[in-house]
Structure 1
């Protein structure tokens, strides 16, 4: 009943008056109400209303309208906002002080009562945990893992009543976490290939939905090695696929072409030189580097991107086959019947073969050239 009366008094009646339904006051009554606040205005308003009635019935209205205009100008300077006397409201301050004091006490003694409610109103589209005797604590800033790697998740539980089991839901599949102690549970993500969403729950208590972010790992998916052999070897140039350890003749020019995934940069370092050298980029997924190999060496490739600088490296060896001098072995034989007849027999060899062989001699008589 009280609600009905309140609605009728505070809502229905003002609406009726606003739309001019039912009994309304006359202009004269309104003028007298205004006169209660501004005594010097009441008579002028009443005169204006009387002149208005006369103008409606008079034959010549010009003088009456001019008089109305003059009196209207006279009351334009009246400060109508002064009709509101705020000092009369001071007597109600004593009723407002108790709620204000209570609000201040709550703000200092239990601010969460105000903050939590305000936070829910501001973030109306965010999901909040249902009030429960415990809640989950996760290292949200550290939910990152290198692609194809493992991530050990540690969950802390705090509250008045602790759960005996905690579960995790990943891709609509539920798993039980390993319990370390009453406050700590763990779970291990394996071979994480993409961003993974998950949430924790125990009974009816659920956490927010979290995302395990994957850091794309730079990777060499394959490479080609082109070998430009020096002319002295007589060997035909060739190309090898994904073979990093090489044994080549000295002076061979080696050109590597790398196919990559998620890589922004490749550096190469030869142990014999020390400093890194940047590999030239041909496209988003291709890099190339060339070098003439003269001695045995070891080289290392460093692959990186913006998220994982120097994320990975791989080491290979270079073996060099030096160009050996030709080898000649000669043996002299004297003819048994004629000691002036000599025979020379021998072998000649070279690691890449002989092109020609010549026999050169000089005759000496009595220690002098003949």
Structure 2
């Protein structure tokens, strides 16, 4: 008796299993693409507003690394291991149940055929086995027109794009429009074990020579550079303190 129908059934199931695990990997990749910008934007925002010390920055950095590692291993690496049969994966019975959900008209026949095959492989070779193999042959022929891999539709993953595209667009737009908002906290997080001095909100810049003739008037002009403009500037000279006046141009 030819084994072609018997082998075709298993090959059909194997094709479904491979496609099933590839689909798992595709979903995992989409999840990773969504998780990466969301997680990184979260730690960047926390660091940008908190400007933490070394301990807190270390927690943020390794929290991000741990999150991405878990997502990568759980949803991308494990399906890859199952695809190459290095770690578990669907067996034929599990695959048959999933296929049966897509083709309900053959679910019982498919499971029964697999059970008969297991009995035939375990039974000794005798006349009774001939009837068993004939039944397997007949059932396998009835199942041959079905392409089990059609039960997996890669196109269904398009629904996950709504979770992937928005965070990627936000991250890209922020980096293009305000690169310093991304680069500065990123640098501090990467150097999380280095004690960093938080820069002041503004600094005073004087572009003139600070020399004057004794007993003569001296006009001092300074300007401020930074994200904040001070409301009051004073100069101390000796024992005296002098309040400076702001000019229309913004200098003092």
Q: With structure 2 as the length reference, what TM-score do the two structures score?
A: 0.33
* Higher RCO, Cα 8 Å, sep 6+: 2
Say which structure is richer in strand: 1
